[in-house]
C-alpha cells in the first residue's frame, strides 16, 4: 500500500477515535447530569413546604443552601413561586431571601465564561430586583467584550433600578439597539424618569423617539397627552402617525376639527390611525367623513373606516345603508363584512 | 481512466468535507454560546400583545383527514399573544372538510378577500363557533402553493406561517421563531425553525409529551439526517445570511415581502423557491433584510417508515431542488447577488444537487475496483474511507453536537443508539438515498410530474 493511503487511513481512524472519545465523555456526562437533576428534584421537594410558608406568611426560617444542587433547587422554586404567588409581600420576602443567600452565587455567575450562564444570572437579578448587585452590573457594562444580548439586558435593568446614569448609557447605544429594545427599556422606567426622557425628546435618535411615542400609548401615560398633541402639528408624518396611534390606545377624544385634518391626510397610514382613534372615541360629527373613507383606495383604510362606523351608536344602521345604497362595490362589500362581525358580537 | 475518476471523486469529497467542517465549527460556537440559557426568560416579554406582531398561521390541507384534527388542535394551544389559524382545504376528495366542520363547529361567514395573489376559486369561507381565531377556506384544488396563496389573501395579520397538514408545533415555538423578527425591528423578513421527526415520540392532544426514538432503523437514520441538516447545515448558513431553505414545515414570513415576491410558485419545492426569490428581491432592491434560522423552535413531523415512501419523498425533494435552482439559474455564480450568488447557489448546485452523482460514481468505482482487483484495490480503499468520512463521520459529529448543545433526548440509550446507527450510515442508508436522489435528477431531466403522495396515518394519539 502506498504511504499516502496509509496516512489517510490513519487520519480517518484517528478521527473515529476522537469522536468515540467525545461520545464516551458525553454519555458519562449525561448519566451524571441525570443524577444531578434527580438530586435537585429531591431538594426541591424538601424545600417546597418551607419556602412556601416563608413566602406566603413569612414565619419560617429557610436553611441556607450549601451545595450547588441546593442553590439551583431553591432558585428554581423561588422563581416558580414568584410567578404563581406574585403579590407585594411575596416579592419582598423573595428579594430578601435572594439577597441573603444568592448574591455570592450570582456574582460568580456574572463572570462565568459562558454567555448562557451570565444571562441567566442577569434574568434572576432582574426578576428578584437585587439592587445590591448594581455595582457589579455597572462594571459588567463597562467591559469591552460585552455581547449585544447582555448590553440590552443590562440597560433594561438599569432602567428598572432607576439608575441615574441611564440617560448617558442610552446616549451611547449603538445601531444594534432596536425600537423594540428601547420600548422594553422605557417600559421599566418610573414616571419621573420617563418624563425626563420625554422632556428631551428631540435630543434622542429616531428609534428612541418612536419608542417613546409608542410607550406613551401602550402604557396609557395620560400626563403626556399634551405632548402627543404638539406632535400632531409636526411636519414629519411618522410623528403624526405614531402620535395618533398612541392617542387611539389611550382613547383620547380629540376635537373633531383637528381629527378631520388627519382623516383627510394624503398619507394613508395617517388616515388609518385617525380612523382607529375614531373607532375608540366615536365622534358623531365625523360620520360623513368616515362614510367617504369606506370608499378609500387603500384596503386597510376602508376596513378601518367600516369598523369605526360600526362603533357609532347607530353603527349597524349606517353600515346597512352603505351596504344597500353605496355606489362603490368595495364599500358595499366592506360594509357587509363588518355588519356580520357586528351582529356576531351582539 | 479509473485513476482519474477516483481522484476526481476523492478531491471533490475532500473539498465538501472542508466546507462541512467549516459549517460544523460555526454551529458549534453558536450553539455552545447559548448553552444552558434559560429556556423561557428571553421570551417572557414577548407574551405582551403590545410588543409582539400578530401571526396568521396557514395550514394547507389536501386529503389530510387523518392528521388535520391533531394539527389544528396543537395550534389552538400554542403560547402566542395574538394569532389566527387559517386552514385551507385545497379541494380534498376525502372527508377533510366534513371533519373540520364537525370537530370545530364551523359556520359560513362573509369576508372581503383582498386578492393580492391570483388563486383558484374560493368556494366558501368558514369560521369556528368554538374558537374565534380559527377559519377555514374551502377552495378548488390548485396545489399546495395555490392553497398557501389563498391563505395569504385571506389572512389579516402582517406575518404568515405555513405549517404542513401533519405536523405538531411545540407550544412556545412561535414565540421563539418570531423573536428575531421582533428583536430586529422587522429587519428579519423570514425566520425558520427546526423540523424533527415525531415517530417514536409520544404525542397527546397536539403536544409532544415525551421525546423518544423510534425502533425503526429507517426512521432512526432520518432522525440523524434531520439533525445533521438542521443543526449543522442551517446554523452555519444562517449565520452568514446564506440560507436558501426555510422549511415548508415550519417558517414565518413577512406577508408584505411574500406578496412583493409574488407569493408561492407552483413548483415541487415551493418553500425553497420562495426563499430564493426573497433573497433575490432583497438583493435587487438593495435592502438590508435578512432570512434566519432559529435552532430551538421545533416542529414535529411524521417521517415515512417504508422504503417506498421514503424513495418517493427523496425523489420529489431532489426534483424540487432542481426546479428551484433551474428557475433561478441567472443567480449562479453571479456577483450581482453577492454571497447568495457566489456561495449559496453554488453550494446547493454543486454539493446538494450534484453531490449525489459524484457519490454514486464513487460507489460504482469502489465496486469496479474491487472486481478488477490488483492495484485497483487501493482506489477502493481510498474511496471507501473518504465516503465514510463524508457520510458516517459527519453524522456522528452531528449527534455529538446535538448532545453537547441542544440535548433534546432525555434517555442515554437513545443517544447511544443514534450514535451507533450513524456509524453505519455509509454502509447502507447513504448509498440508498444517493440512488434515490439520482433518480430524482433523472425525473427532473425527463420532466416527470406527479406528487408521490405518502399515505399518512397521523402522528397523534
- Domains of chain B with bracketed CATH: 2-29+341-446 (no CATH), 38-320+334-339 (3.90.550.10)
Q: Do B404 and B32 form a contact (C-beta atoms < 8 A)?
A: yes
Q: What residues of chain A lie within 8 A of the CB of B33, using their CB?
A: 114-116
Contact status of A16 with chain B (Cβ, < 8 Å): yes
Q: What percent of chain A clears pLDDT 90, i.e. is strictly above it?
A: 80
Q: What residues of chain A lie within 8 A of the CB of B397, using their CB?
A: 19
Cβ-Cβ pairs closer than 8 A, A with B, add up to: 92
d(CA A142, CA A261): 49
Both A338 and A295 in one domain: the answer is: yes
- pLDDT over 80 at A310, yes or no: yes
- A219: CB partners within 8 A, 6+ apart: A187
Both A123 and A220 in one domain: the answer is: no
Contact status of A195 with chain B (Cβ, < 8 Å): no
Q: What is the ipTM of this complex?
A: 0.88
Both A129 and A41 in one domain: the answer is: yes
Q: Do A120 and B378 touch (CB under 8 A)?
A: no
Of A122-126, A164-168, A272-276, B267-271, the least confident? B267-271
For residue B59, what pLDDT is reported?
A: 93
Q: Do B403 and A30 touch (CB under 8 A)?
A: yes
Q: What residues of chain B lie within 8 A of the CB of A216, using their CB?
A: none
- B309: CB partners within 8 A, 6+ apart: B454, B455
Per-residue confidence in pLDDT tens, chain B, 461 aa? 888 999 999 999 999 999 999 989 998 988 888 888 888 888 888 887 677 899 999 999 999 888 788 889 889 989 999 999 999 999 999 999 999 999 999 999 988 888 899 999 999 999 999 999 999 999 999 999 999 999 999 999 999 998 876 778 888 889 999 999 998 988 999 998 888 898 999 888 777 888 899 999 999 999 999 999 888 878 878 877 777 766 656 889 999 999 999 999 988 778 888 999 999 999 999 998 999 888 888 888 889 999 999 999 999 999 989 988 999 999 999 999 988 899 889 999 999 999 999 999 999 999 999 999 888 888 899 999 999 998 999 999 999 999 988 888 888 999 999 999 999 999 999 999 999 999 999 988 887 655 444 444 444 44
Which residue in chain A has the smallest CA separation from B37? A116
**What cell was used for B158?**
402582517
d(CA A231, CA A214): 13
Q: Do A27 and B415 touch (CB under 8 A)?
A: yes
**Domain-terminating residue out of A252, A283, A312:** A252
A130 assigned to some structural domain? yes
Q: Do B400 and A15 touch (CB under 8 A)?
A: no
How many domains does the structure of chain A reveal? Answer: 3
Q: Considering CB atoms only, which of B36, B41, B403 is closest to A123? A: B41
A1 assigned to some structural domain? no
Which of A7, A9, A18, A22 should we substitute to test contact with B (largest number of B Cβ atoms within 10 Å)? A22
**What cell was used for B46?**
414577548
Sheet holding B106-108, edge to edge: B106-108, B122-128, B134-139, B83-90, B55-61, B159-163, B250-254, B188-197, B290-301, B167-169
Cβ atoms within 10 Å of A50's Cβ, excluding its own: 15
Both A152 and A248 in one domain: the answer is: yes
For residue B114, what pLDDT is reported?
A: 87
Q: Do B403 and A26 touch (CB under 8 A)?
A: yes
Which residue in chain B has the smallest CA separation from A215? B50
Cα atoms in the Cβ-side hemisphere of radius 13 Å centred on B453: 11
Q: What is the pLDDT of residues B367-402, one digit of tens each?
A: 999 999 888 888 899 999 999 998 999 999 999 999
A6 assigned to some structural domain? no
Both A161 and A239 in one domain: the answer is: yes
Supply the range of the domain harboring residue A236.
147-252
Both A201 and A185 in one domain: the answer is: yes
Both A247 and A157 in one domain: the answer is: yes
Both A173 and A194 in one domain: the answer is: yes
Both A221 and A282 in one domain: the answer is: no
A30 assigned to some structural domain? no
For residue A82, what pLDDT is reported?
A: 85
A104 assigned to some structural domain? yes
Chain A: nearest CA to B186, how far in angstroms?
A: 9
Query: Is beta strand B290-301 parallel, antiparallel or unpaired with respect to B188-197?
Result: parallel
**What cell was used for B292?**
434566519
Q: What residues of chain B lie within 8 A of the CB of A120, using their CB?
A: 36-38, 41
DSSP B195: E
Q: Do A119 and B38 touch (CB under 8 A)?
A: yes
Q: Considering CB atoms only, which of A2, A9, A334 is closest to B385? A: A9
Residues in chain B: 461
Q: What is the pLDDT of residues A61-97, one digit of tens each?
A: 888 888 889 999 999 999 888 888 778 888 888 899 9
Helix/strand number for chain A, H first, E second: 19, 0
Taking residues A30-58, report their average pLDDT: 92
Q: Do A116 and B35 touch (CB under 8 A)?
A: yes
Mean pLDDT of all residues belonging to chain A: 92
Q: Considering CB atoms only, which of B33, B184, B382 is closest to A8? A: B382
Q: What residues of chain A lie within 8 A of the CB of B403, using their CB?
A: 26, 30
DSSP A312: S
Q: Do B51 and A123 touch (CB under 8 A)?
A: no
A8 assigned to some structural domain? no
Chain A: nearest CA to B319, how far in angstroms?
A: 33
Q: Do A15 and B111 touch (CB under 8 A)?
A: no
Q: Do A9 and B378 touch (CB under 8 A)?
A: no
Q: What is the pLDDT of residues B109-124, one digit of tens each?
A: 988 888 899 999 999 9
Q: Do A119 and B42 touch (CB under 8 A)?
A: yes
For residue B461, what pLDDT is reported?
A: 43
Both A200 and A213 in one domain: the answer is: yes
Contact status of A207 with chain B (Cβ, < 8 Å): yes
**Domain-terminating residue out of A136, A155, A171:** A136
Both A243 and A263 in one domain: the answer is: no
Q: Considering CB atoms only, which of B42, B184, B416 is closest to A178? A: B184
A29 assigned to some structural domain? no
Contact status of A298 with chain B (Cβ, < 8 Å): no
The interface residues of chain B toward chain A in range 368-407, judged by CB-CB distance below 8 A, are 378, 381-382, 385-386, 388-389, 393, 396-397, 399-400, 403-404
Of A97-106, A190-199, B40-49, the least confident? B40-49
A66 assigned to some structural domain? yes
Which of A30, A82, A127, A305 should we substitute to test contact with B (largest number of B Cβ atoms within 10 Å)? A30
User: What is the three-class DSSP state of B253?
Assistant: strand
Q: How far is CA B350 from CA A332, B4, B14, B437, in A?
A: 55, 19, 13, 14
DSSP B454: P
Task: Quote the Cα angle for B81-B82-B87, to 5°.
Answer: 130
Q: Do A16 and B403 touch (CB under 8 A)?
A: no
**Domain-terminating residue out of A105, A136, A167:** A136
Q: What percent of chain A clears pLDDT 70, i.e. is strictly above it?
A: 99
Q: What residues of chain B lie within 8 A of the CB of A340, using their CB?
A: 109-110
Q: Do B390 and B397 form a contact (C-beta atoms < 8 A)?
A: no
Both A47 and A128 in one domain: the answer is: yes
Q: Do B33 and A218 touch (CB under 8 A)?
A: no
β-partners of residue B246 are none
For residue B232, what pLDDT is reported?
A: 82
Q: Do A76 and A83 form a contact (C-beta atoms < 8 A)?
A: no
Amino acid at each position: 500500500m502506498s504511504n499516502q493511503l496509509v496516512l489517510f487511513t490513519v487520519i480517518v481512524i484517528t478521527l473515529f477515535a476522537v469522536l468515540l472519545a467525545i461520545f464516551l465523555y458525553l454519555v458519562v456526562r449525561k448519566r451524571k447530569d441525570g443524577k444531578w437533576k434527580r438530586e435537585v428534584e429531591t431538594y426541591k421537594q424538601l424545600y417546597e413546604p418551607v419556602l412556601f410558608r416563608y413566602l406566603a406568611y413569612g414565619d419560617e426560617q429557610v436553611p441556607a443552601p450549601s451545595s450547588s444542587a441546593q442553590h439551583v433547587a431553591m432558585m428554581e422554586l423561588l422563581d416558580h413561586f414568584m410567578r404563581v404567588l406574585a403579590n407585594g409581600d411575596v416579592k419582598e420576602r423573595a428579594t430578601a431571601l435572594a439577597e441573603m443567600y444568592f448574591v455570592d452565587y450570582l456574582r460568580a455567575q456574572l463572570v462565568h465564561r459562558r454567555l448562557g450562564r451570565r444571562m441567566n444570572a442577569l434574568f434572576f437579578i432582574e426578576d428578584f430586583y437585587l439592587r445590591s448587585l448594581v455595582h457589579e452590573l455597572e462594571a459588567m457594562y463597562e467591559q469591552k467584550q460585552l455581547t449585544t444580548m447582555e448590553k440590552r439586558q443590562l440597560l433594561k435593568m438599569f432602567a428598572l433600578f432607576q439608575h441615574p446614569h441611564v440617560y448617558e448609557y442610552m446616549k451611547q447605544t449603538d445601531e444594534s439597539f432596536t425600537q423594540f429594545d428601547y420600548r422594553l427599556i422605557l417600559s421599566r422606567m418610573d414616571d419621573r424618569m420617563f418624563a425626563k426622557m420625554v422632556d428631551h425628546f428631540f435630543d434622542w435618535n429616531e428609534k428612541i423617539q418612536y419608542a417613546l411615542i409608542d410607550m406613551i400609548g401602550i402604557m396609557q401615560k395620560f400626563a403626556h397627552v399634551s405632548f402627543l398633541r404638539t406632535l400632531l402639528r409636526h411636519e414629519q408624518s411618522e410623528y403624526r402617525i405614531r402620535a395618533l396611534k398612541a392617542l387611539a390606545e389611550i382613547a383620547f377624544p380629540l376635537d373633531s376639527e383637528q381629527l378631520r385634518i388627519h382623516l383627510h391626510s394624503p398619507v394613508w397610514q395617517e388616515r388609518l390611525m385617525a380612523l382607529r382613534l375614531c373607532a375608540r372615541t366615536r365622534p358623531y360629527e365625523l360620520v360623513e367623513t368616515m362614510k367617504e373613507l369606506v370608499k378609500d383606495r387603500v384596503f386597510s383604510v376602508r376596513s378601518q373606516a367600516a369598523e369605526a362606523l360600526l362603533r357609532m351608536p347607530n353603527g349597524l344602521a349606517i353600515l346597512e345603508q352603505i351596504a344597500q345604497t353605496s355606489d362603490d362595490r368595495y364599500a358595499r362589500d366592506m360594509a357587509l363584512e363588518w355588519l356580520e362581525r357586528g351582529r356576531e358580537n351582539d | 481512466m479509473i485513476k482519474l475518476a477516483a481522484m476526481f471523486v476523492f478531491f471533490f469529497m475532500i473539498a465538501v468535507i472542508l466546507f462541512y467542517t467549516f459549517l460544523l465549527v460555526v454551529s458549534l460556537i453558536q450553539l455552545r454560546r447559548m448553552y444552558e440559557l434559560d429556556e423561557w426568560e428571553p421570551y417572557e416579554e414577548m407574551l405582551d400583545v403590545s410588543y409582539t406582531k400578530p401571526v396568521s398561521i396557514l395550514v394547507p390541507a389536501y386529503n389530510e383527514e387523518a392528521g388535520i384534527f391533531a394539527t389544528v388542535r396543537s395550534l389552538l394551544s400554542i403560547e402566542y399573544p395574538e394569532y389566527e389559524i387559517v386552514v385551507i382545504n385545497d379541494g380534498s376528495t376525502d372527508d377533510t372538510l366534513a371533519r373540520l366542520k364537525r370537530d370545530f363547529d364551523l359556520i359560513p361567514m362573509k369576508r372581503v378577500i383582498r386578492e393580492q395573489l391570483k388563486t383558484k376559486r374560493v368556494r366558501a369561507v368558514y369560521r369556528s363557533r368554538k374558537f374565534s381565531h380559527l377559519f377555514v377556506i374551502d377552495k378548488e384544488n390548485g396545489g399546495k402553493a395555490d392553497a398557501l396563496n389563498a391563505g395569504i389573501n385571506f389572512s389579516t395579520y402582517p406575518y404568515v406561517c405555513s405549517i404542513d397538514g401533519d405536523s405538531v408545533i411545540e407550544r412556545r415555538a412561535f414565540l421563539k421563531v418570531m423573536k428575531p423578527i421582533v428583536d430586529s425591528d422587522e429587519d428579519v423578513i423570514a425566520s425558520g425553525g427546526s423540523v424533527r421527526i415525531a415517530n417514536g415520540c409520544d404525542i397527546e392532544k397536539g403536544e409532544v409529551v415525551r421525546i423518544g426514538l423510534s425502533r425503526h432503523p429507517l426512521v432512526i437514520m432520518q432522525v440523524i439526517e434531520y439533525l445533521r441538516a438542521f443543526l449543522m447545515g442551517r446554523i452555519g448558513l444562517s449565520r452568514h445570511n446564506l440560507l436558501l431553505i426555510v422549511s415548508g414545515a415550519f417558517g414565518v414570513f413577512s406577508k408584505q415581502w411574500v406578496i412583493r415576491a409574488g407569493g408561492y410558485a407552483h413548483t415541487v419545492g415551493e418553500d425553497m423557491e420562495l426563499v430564493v426569490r426573497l433573497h433575490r428581491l432583497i438583493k435587487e432592491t438593495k435592502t438590508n433584510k435578512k432570512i434566519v434560522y432559529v435552532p430551538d423552535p421545533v416542529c414535529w413531523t411524521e417521517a415515512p417508515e417504508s422504503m417506498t415512501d421514503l424513495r418517493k419523498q427523496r425523489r420529489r425533494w431532489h426534483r424540487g431542488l432542481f426546479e428551484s435552482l433551474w428557475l433561478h439559474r441567472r443567480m449562479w455564480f453571479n456577483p450581482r447577488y453577492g454571497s447568495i450568488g457566489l456561495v449559496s447557489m453554488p453550494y446547493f448546485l454543486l454539493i446538494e444537487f450534484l453531490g449525489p452523482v459524484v457519490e454514486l460514481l464513487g460507489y460504482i468505482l469502489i465496486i469496479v475496483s474491487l472486481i478488477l482487483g490488483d492495484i485497483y484495490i487501493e482506489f477502493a480503499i481510498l474511496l471507501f474511507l473518504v465516503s465514510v468520512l463524508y457520510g458516517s463521520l459527519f453524522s456522528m459529529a452531528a449527534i455529538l453536537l446535538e448532545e453537547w448543545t441542544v440535548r433534546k433526548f432525555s434517555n442515554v440509550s437513545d443517544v447511544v443508539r443514534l450514535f451507533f446507527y450513524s456509524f453505519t450510515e455509509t454502509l447502507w442508508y447513504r448509498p440508498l438515498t444517493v440512488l434515490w436522489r439520482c433518480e430524482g435528477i433523472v425525473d427532473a431531466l425527463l420532466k416527470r410530474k406527479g406528487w408521490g403522495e405518502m399515505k399518512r396515518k397521523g402522528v397523534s394519539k
